[in-house]
């Protein structure tokens, strides 16, 4: 945690002086499916402020023939289509000729699940590619030859990796220094210290007899900090005891 805080701070200064912009290239069969999460709220603001650039690449533009062929049936038989290596290699190598990439990520349910630590470390990268899984997956040689990191977003199956790529990008982008106004707010989120966030309340202090804990109205910030810490620990024990192991 401390290492991440230090690295995040360092990036904050470096970005300020060098004016670097993080770049995410998303290679997908359905660019339209994935674009809208980048057009709203915090992520849109990050793009508008030039703290991050997100580029979408339609794999179909790298098809092996004029009919737009990018997938084929699996050798050995079985259901579903497999994305071919050639279009993917063409797209990745075009991007690699333009700049170096820190990671080439593949979204797939058969990988380790994304966690805050992975998001923290990816937020320090300069350029990343995310290849989104689709259909029955990609030819294994793509994973062996080009992919440096495989990420799932949990133990359930989505109909494609596009939503996962949006989730991963969001988790990364909000950590880039300057994206969230109050820097401490991203760094004190649930999971940053393996604890769930404490409960929060706002006005009215009494809603139809349901009262806000007195301590939060006390104005005693030391007591409030202690209450929040204890509340976070109690909630974590109750809801996610695995985080405390």
What is the contact surface with ligand 6GU in residues (CB under 6 A)? Answer: 107-109, 133, 152-154, 156-158, 160-161, 164
CB of residue 174 to ligand 6GU, shortest distance in Å: 19
For ligand 6GU, the closer of residues 160 and 178 by Cβ is 160
Smallest distance, Å, CB 79 to ligand 6GU? 15
- Give the whole-angstrom CA distance, residue 173 versus residue 22: 9
Q: What is the Rg, in whole angstroms, of the alpha carbon atoms belonging to the chain? A: 22
CB of 173 to ligand 6GU, least distance (A): 17
Best CA proximity match to 131, nearest among 201, 84, 98 = 84
**Minimum CB separation from ligand 6GU for residue 12, in Å?**
29
| Alpha-carbon separation of residue 17 from 11, 14, 50, 53, 194 (angstroms) | 10, 5, 14, 18, 32
CB of 109 to ligand 6GU, least distance (A): 4
Nearer to ligand 6GU, 2 or 157 (CB): 157
Residue with smaller CB distance to ligand 6GU, 108 or 120: 108
Distance between CA 196 and CA 114 in Å, rounded?
A: 16
Indicate the residue whose CB is closest to ligand 6GU.
Answer: 164
In the bound state with ligand 6GU, the residue whose beta carbon lies nearer, of 18 and 157, is 157
Which string of DSSP letters, residue by residue, matches 90-156?
HHHHHHHHHS--SEEEEE-SSSPBP-HHHHHHHTT-SEEEEEEP-TT-B-HHHHHHT-SEEEB-SSS
Supply 1's token pair. 């945690």
Residue 84, phi-psi category: left (phi > 0), alpha (psi -120 to 50), beta (remainder) = beta
When the beta carbons of 107 and 123 are compared against ligand 6GU, the nearer one is: 107
Query: Of 168 and 216, which CB lies nearer to ligand 6GU in the complex structure?
Result: 168
CA 19 to chain centre: 22
Find the shortest distance in angstroms from Cβ 30 to ligand 6GU: 12
């Amino acid at each position: 945690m401390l290492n991440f805080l230090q690295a995040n701070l360092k990036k904050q200064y470096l970005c300020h002086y060098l004016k670097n912009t993080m770049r995410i290239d998303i290679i997908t069969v359905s660019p339209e499916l994935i674009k809208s999460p980048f057009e709203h709220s915090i992520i849109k603001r990050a793009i508008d402020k030039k703290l991050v650039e997100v580029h979408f690449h339609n794999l179909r533009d790298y098809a092996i023939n004029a009919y737009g062929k990018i997938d084929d049936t699996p050798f050995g038989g079985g259901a579903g289509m497999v994305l071919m290596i050639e279009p993917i290699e063409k797209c990745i190598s075009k991007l690699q000729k333009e700049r170096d990439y820190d990671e080439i990520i593949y979204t797939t349910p058969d990988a380790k699940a994304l966690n805050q630590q992975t998001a923290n470390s990816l937020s320090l990268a300069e350029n990343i590619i995310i290849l989104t899984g689709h259909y029955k997956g990609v030819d294994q040689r793509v994973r062996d030859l080009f992919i440096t990191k495989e990420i799932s977003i949990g133990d359930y199956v989505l109909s494609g990796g596009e939503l996962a790529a949006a989730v991963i990008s969001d988790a990364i982008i909000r950590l880039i220094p300057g994206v969230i106004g109050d820097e401490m707010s991203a760094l004190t989120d649930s999971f940053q210290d393996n604890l769930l966030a404490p409960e929060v309340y706002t006005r009215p202090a009494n809603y139809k007899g349901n009262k806000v804990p007195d301590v939060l109205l006390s104005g005693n910030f030391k007591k409030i900090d202690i209450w929040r810490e204890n509340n976070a620990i109690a909630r974590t024990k109750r809801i996610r005891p695995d985080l405390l192991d």
